[in-house]
A and B are shown apart, each in its own frame.
Chain A
Protein backbone atom coordinates (compact mmCIF):
# COMPACT_ATOMS: atom_id res chain seq x y z
CA UNK A 1 0.00 0.00 0.00
CA UNK A 2 1.33 3.44 -0.92
CA UNK A 3 2.15 5.81 1.93
CA UNK A 4 -0.23 8.47 0.63
CA UNK A 5 -2.97 7.89 -1.93
CA UNK A 6 -4.84 10.61 -3.74
CA UNK A 7 -7.12 10.64 -6.76
CA UNK A 8 -4.92 12.36 -9.37
CA UNK A 9 -7.93 13.88 -11.13
CA UNK A 10 -8.09 16.09 -13.04
CA UNK A 11 -11.14 17.66 -11.49
CA UNK A 12 -12.74 20.21 -13.82
CA UNK A 13 -15.37 22.36 -12.12
CA UNK A 14 -17.14 25.62 -12.95
CA UNK A 15 -16.58 28.76 -10.94
CA UNK A 16 -18.68 28.79 -7.80
CA UNK A 17 -18.77 25.01 -7.48
CA UNK A 18 -17.93 23.06 -4.34
CA UNK A 19 -15.27 20.40 -4.75
CA UNK A 20 -13.84 17.85 -2.34
CA UNK A 21 -10.56 15.97 -2.38
CA UNK A 22 -9.81 12.86 -0.39
CA UNK A 23 -6.59 11.28 0.72
CA UNK A 24 -5.66 8.14 2.63
CA UNK A 25 -2.38 7.50 4.42
CA UNK A 26 -0.91 4.19 5.47
CA UNK A 27 1.12 5.02 8.57
CA UNK A 28 -1.09 5.04 11.65
CA UNK A 29 1.72 6.71 13.62
CA UNK A 30 1.54 9.91 11.53
CA UNK A 31 1.04 12.86 13.86
CA UNK A 32 0.71 15.98 11.73
CA UNK A 33 -1.16 16.57 8.51
CA UNK A 34 -1.13 19.31 5.92
CA UNK A 35 -2.52 20.31 2.55
CA UNK A 36 -0.07 22.01 0.20
CA UNK A 37 -0.96 23.75 -3.02
CA UNK A 38 1.31 23.68 -6.08
CA UNK A 39 0.67 25.85 -9.11
CA UNK A 40 1.89 24.67 -12.50
CA UNK A 41 5.70 24.80 -12.66
CA UNK A 42 5.89 26.48 -9.24
CA UNK A 43 6.97 25.39 -5.80
CA UNK A 44 4.58 23.88 -3.23
CA UNK A 45 3.09 26.27 -0.68
CA UNK A 46 1.35 25.40 2.57
CA UNK A 47 -2.41 25.80 2.22
CA UNK A 48 -3.44 24.68 5.67
CA UNK A 49 -2.72 22.33 8.52
CA UNK A 50 -5.29 19.67 9.34
CA UNK A 51 -6.39 19.22 12.92
CA UNK A 52 -8.27 16.32 14.49
CA UNK A 53 -11.26 18.51 15.23
CA UNK A 54 -11.40 19.77 11.66
CA UNK A 55 -10.59 23.31 10.69
CA UNK A 56 -11.75 25.98 8.32
CA UNK A 57 -9.94 28.81 6.61
CA UNK A 58 -12.29 30.95 4.56
CA UNK A 59 -13.59 28.82 1.71
CA UNK A 60 -11.40 25.87 2.65
CA UNK A 61 -12.31 23.16 5.16
CA UNK A 62 -10.02 20.30 6.15
CA UNK A 63 -11.05 17.16 8.00
CA UNK A 64 -9.06 14.34 9.55
CA UNK A 65 -10.32 10.87 10.46
CA UNK A 66 -7.53 9.10 12.31
CA UNK A 67 -9.48 5.86 12.70
CA UNK A 68 -9.90 5.56 8.93
CA UNK A 69 -6.55 7.25 8.17
CA UNK A 70 -8.36 9.63 5.89
CA UNK A 71 -7.94 13.35 5.20
CA UNK A 72 -10.21 15.58 3.16
CA UNK A 73 -10.20 19.09 1.73
CA UNK A 74 -13.38 20.91 0.75
CA UNK A 75 -13.31 24.05 -1.37
CA UNK A 76 -16.48 26.10 -1.53
CA UNK A 77 -17.33 28.76 -4.10
CA UNK A 78 -14.40 27.82 -6.34
CA UNK A 79 -12.45 30.63 -7.97
CA UNK A 80 -10.38 30.55 -11.15
CA UNK A 81 -7.34 31.17 -8.95
CA UNK A 82 -7.96 27.88 -7.11
CA UNK A 83 -6.72 26.01 -10.19
CA UNK A 84 -3.67 24.10 -8.98
CA UNK A 85 -2.52 20.70 -7.76
CA UNK A 86 -3.39 19.93 -4.14
CA UNK A 87 -0.92 17.77 -2.25
CA UNK A 88 -1.92 15.72 0.78
CA UNK A 89 0.95 15.62 3.26
CA UNK A 90 1.05 13.56 6.43
CA UNK A 91 4.21 13.34 8.46
CA UNK A 92 6.04 10.06 8.64
CA UNK A 93 5.27 8.16 11.82
CA UNK A 94 7.81 8.83 14.52
CA UNK A 95 9.26 11.90 12.84
CA UNK A 96 8.29 15.26 11.39
CA UNK A 97 9.39 14.23 7.90
CA UNK A 98 6.77 15.25 5.34
CA UNK A 99 5.47 12.55 3.01
CA UNK A 100 3.90 14.08 -0.09
CA UNK A 101 1.13 12.48 -2.10
CA UNK A 102 1.16 12.74 -5.89
CA UNK A 103 -1.47 15.45 -5.75
CA UNK A 104 -4.91 16.08 -7.18
CA UNK A 105 -5.16 18.48 -10.09
CA UNK A 106 -8.01 20.98 -10.03
CA UNK A 107 -9.06 23.21 -12.91
CA UNK A 108 -11.75 25.81 -12.27
CA UNK A 109 -13.41 26.95 -15.48
CA UNK A 110 -15.16 30.28 -16.15
Chain B
Protein backbone atom coordinates (compact mmCIF):
# COMPACT_ATOMS: atom_id res chain seq x y z
CA UNK B 1 0.00 0.00 0.00
CA UNK B 2 1.43 3.37 -1.02
CA UNK B 3 1.96 5.83 1.80
CA UNK B 4 1.12 9.50 2.05
CA UNK B 5 2.88 11.42 -0.69
CA UNK B 6 4.01 15.03 -0.37
CA UNK B 7 5.80 17.44 -2.64
CA UNK B 8 8.06 19.24 -2.80
CA UNK B 9 10.32 17.76 -0.15
CA UNK B 10 12.28 20.98 0.31
CA UNK B 11 11.55 24.60 -0.48
CA UNK B 12 13.50 27.78 0.12
CA UNK B 13 11.77 31.11 -0.42
CA UNK B 14 12.23 34.72 0.60
CA UNK B 15 9.87 36.37 3.04
CA UNK B 16 6.74 37.82 1.49
CA UNK B 17 6.82 35.23 -1.31
CA UNK B 18 4.14 32.60 -1.79
CA UNK B 19 4.49 28.84 -1.58
CA UNK B 20 2.23 25.83 -2.04
CA UNK B 21 2.52 22.28 -0.79
CA UNK B 22 0.75 19.23 -2.17
CA UNK B 23 -0.41 16.07 -0.43
CA UNK B 24 -1.87 12.82 -1.73
CA UNK B 25 -3.24 10.69 1.14
CA UNK B 26 -3.43 6.92 1.35
CA UNK B 27 -6.12 5.63 -0.98
CA UNK B 28 -9.48 5.38 0.74
CA UNK B 29 -8.56 7.57 3.69
CA UNK B 30 -11.38 10.03 4.29
CA UNK B 31 -9.57 12.23 6.80
CA UNK B 32 -6.60 14.43 5.93
CA UNK B 33 -4.55 16.60 8.25
CA UNK B 34 -1.94 19.31 7.78
CA UNK B 35 0.53 19.84 10.62
CA UNK B 36 3.30 22.36 11.15
CA UNK B 37 6.39 21.15 13.01
CA UNK B 38 8.87 23.79 14.10
CA UNK B 39 12.35 22.56 15.02
CA UNK B 40 12.37 21.18 18.57
CA UNK B 41 8.58 21.10 18.83
CA UNK B 42 5.93 18.47 18.29
CA UNK B 43 3.64 18.71 15.26
CA UNK B 44 0.82 21.25 15.58
CA UNK B 45 -2.44 20.66 13.74
CA UNK B 46 -3.24 23.39 11.22
CA UNK B 47 -6.32 21.97 9.53
CA UNK B 48 -8.32 18.75 9.34
CA UNK B 49 -10.51 17.68 6.43
CA UNK B 50 -13.16 15.02 6.41
CA UNK B 51 -13.58 14.18 2.73
CA UNK B 52 -13.66 17.70 1.22
CA UNK B 53 -15.11 19.47 4.25
CA UNK B 54 -13.17 21.28 6.96
CA UNK B 55 -13.53 19.74 10.43
CA UNK B 56 -11.06 21.90 12.35
CA UNK B 57 -9.07 24.92 11.22
CA UNK B 58 -8.91 26.68 14.56
CA UNK B 59 -5.09 26.91 14.53
CA UNK B 60 -4.70 27.90 10.89
CA UNK B 61 -3.43 31.50 10.51
CA UNK B 62 -6.12 32.38 8.04
CA UNK B 63 -4.66 35.77 7.14
CA UNK B 64 -1.83 34.03 5.31
CA UNK B 65 -2.53 30.29 5.20
CA UNK B 66 -5.16 28.55 3.10
CA UNK B 67 -5.89 24.92 2.31
CA UNK B 68 -8.26 23.03 0.10
CA UNK B 69 -9.27 19.49 -0.69
CA UNK B 70 -11.63 19.99 -3.57
CA UNK B 71 -12.39 16.42 -4.64
CA UNK B 72 -11.91 14.80 -1.26
CA UNK B 73 -8.57 13.28 -2.23
CA UNK B 74 -5.50 15.47 -2.84
CA UNK B 75 -4.95 18.60 -0.83
CA UNK B 76 -2.89 21.77 -1.15
CA UNK B 77 -1.69 24.09 1.58
CA UNK B 78 -0.67 27.62 0.61
CA UNK B 79 1.16 30.36 2.44
CA UNK B 80 0.88 33.90 1.11
CA UNK B 81 2.86 35.93 2.06
CA UNK B 82 5.43 33.89 3.97
CA UNK B 83 7.12 35.13 7.13
CA UNK B 84 10.41 34.06 8.67
CA UNK B 85 8.54 32.25 11.47
CA UNK B 86 6.86 30.00 8.91
CA UNK B 87 10.14 28.09 8.54
CA UNK B 88 9.16 24.57 9.57
CA UNK B 89 8.35 21.11 8.30
CA UNK B 90 4.81 20.82 6.96
CA UNK B 91 3.47 17.33 7.49
CA UNK B 92 0.43 15.83 5.84
CA UNK B 93 -1.29 12.87 7.48
CA UNK B 94 -4.31 10.77 6.67
CA UNK B 95 -6.50 8.29 8.50
CA UNK B 96 -9.23 5.92 7.47
CA UNK B 97 -11.78 7.78 9.52
CA UNK B 98 -11.75 10.28 12.32
CA UNK B 99 -12.09 9.16 15.90
CA UNK B 100 -8.91 7.63 17.23
CA UNK B 101 -7.77 5.77 14.13
CA UNK B 102 -4.06 5.71 13.43
CA UNK B 103 -2.78 8.69 11.48
CA UNK B 104 -0.20 7.97 8.79
CA UNK B 105 2.22 10.77 8.08
CA UNK B 106 3.91 11.74 4.84
CA UNK B 107 7.63 12.61 4.69
CA UNK B 108 6.91 16.32 5.02
CA UNK B 109 7.99 19.45 3.19
CA UNK B 110 10.86 21.33 4.81
CA UNK B 111 10.30 25.07 4.27
CA UNK B 112 12.98 27.65 4.84
CA UNK B 113 11.98 31.31 4.66
CA UNK B 114 14.92 33.72 4.33
Beyond the given A4-B42, A43-B105, A43-B108, could you list 15 further A-B residue pairs with CB under 8 A, ordered by the A residue number? A31-B100, A32-B100, A43-B91, A45-B105, A87-B42, A89-B42, A97-B45, A97-B56, A98-B103, A100-B42, A100-B43, A100-B44, A102-B41, A102-B42, A103-B42
Interface residues of A (CB under 8 A from B): 4, 8, 31-32, 42-46, 87, 89, 91, 95-98, 100-103
Task: State the Cβ distance, A65 to closest chain B Cβ, in Å.
Answer: 20
Which residue of chain A has its CB nearest to the CB of B59?
A97
| B41 partner residues in chain A, CB cutoff 8 A | 102
Task: State the Cβ distance, A4 to closest chain B Cβ, in Å.
Answer: 7
The interface residues of chain B, by DSSP majority, are classed as loop
| A103 partner residues in chain B, CB cutoff 8 A | 42
| Contact (A102, B106) CB under 8 Å given A97-B45, A97-B48 | no
Task: State the Cβ distance, B57 to closest chain A Cβ, in Å.
Answer: 12
| A4 partner residues in chain B, CB cutoff 8 A | 42
13 A-B pairs, CB-CB below 8 angstroms?
A43-B91, A43-B105, A43-B108, A44-B105, A89-B42, A96-B99, A96-B100, A98-B45, A98-B103, A100-B42, A100-B44, A102-B42, A103-B42
Task: State the Cβ distance, A47 to closest chain B Cβ, in Å.
Answer: 11
Task: State the Cβ distance, A99 to closest chain B Cβ, in Å.
Answer: 8
The answer on a CB contact under 8 Å between A43 and B106 is: yes
Task: State the Cβ distance, B20 to closest chain A Cβ, in Å.
Answer: 20
The answer on a CB contact under 8 Å between A95 and B56 is: yes
B107 at the A interface (CB under 8 A): yes
